[in-house]
């Protein structure tokens, strides 16, 4: 990869780091997601900036070109994030189900007490 390509990708990564950091600071992005994005972005910047690391990644993956290896790493990251986010959505869904069930039970009890008061 050329020096200009590495420089452009590092600048894009820095802009992404600033954006994610700002989103976490404002509360628009969950801190756990922000940490994952920041760590991944720093890792990619390190791999791109150190040619020996990029060569090791290319060799381990068995790619012909560095871009192919980086594309494979990006796809692995996407799959990881999908699994992580879907796990978090499932946890939220389960919590919401328990909350709604508890609320329904509470309202049913209150309705039963009100009916008993009217009768007697």
pTM of the entire predicted model: 0.67
Residues 116 and 72 in one domain: yes
State residue 105's pLDDT score. Answer: 94
State residue 120's pLDDT score. Answer: 61
Residues 72 and 120 in one domain: yes
Query: How many domains in the chain?
Result: 2
Q: Is 61 a domain residue? A: no
Residues 4 and 33 in one domain: yes
Q: Is 54 a domain residue? A: no
State residue 69's pLDDT score. Answer: 82
Q: Is 55 a domain residue? A: no
* Chunked mean pLDDT (size 10), the chain, 120 residues: 85 94 91 90 90 86 81 87 88 95 93 77
Q: Is 104 a domain residue? A: yes
Using alpha carbons, select from 18, 29, 46, 40 the residue that is nearest to residue 88. 29
State the residue range of the domain holding 95.
67-120
User: What Å distances lie between residue 28 and 15, 34, 59, 93, 118, CA to CA?
Assistant: 17, 10, 39, 20, 48
Q: Is 59 a domain residue? A: no
């Amino acid at each position: 990869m050329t020096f200009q390509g590495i420089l452009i990708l590092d600048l894009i990564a820095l802009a992404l780091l600033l954006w994610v950091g700002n989103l976490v600071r404002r509360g628009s992005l969950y801190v756990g997601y922000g940490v994952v994005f920041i760590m991944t972005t720093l890792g990619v910047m390190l791999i791109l900036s150190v040619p020996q690391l990029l060569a090791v990644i290319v060799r381990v993956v068995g790619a012909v070109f560095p871009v192919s290896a980086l594309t494979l790493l990006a796809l692995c990251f996407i799959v990881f994030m999908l699994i992580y986010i879907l796990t978090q959505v499932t946890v939220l869904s389960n919590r919401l189900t328990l909350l709604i069930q508890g609320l329904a039970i509470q309202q049913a009890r209150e309705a039963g007490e009100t009916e008993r008061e009217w009768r007697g």
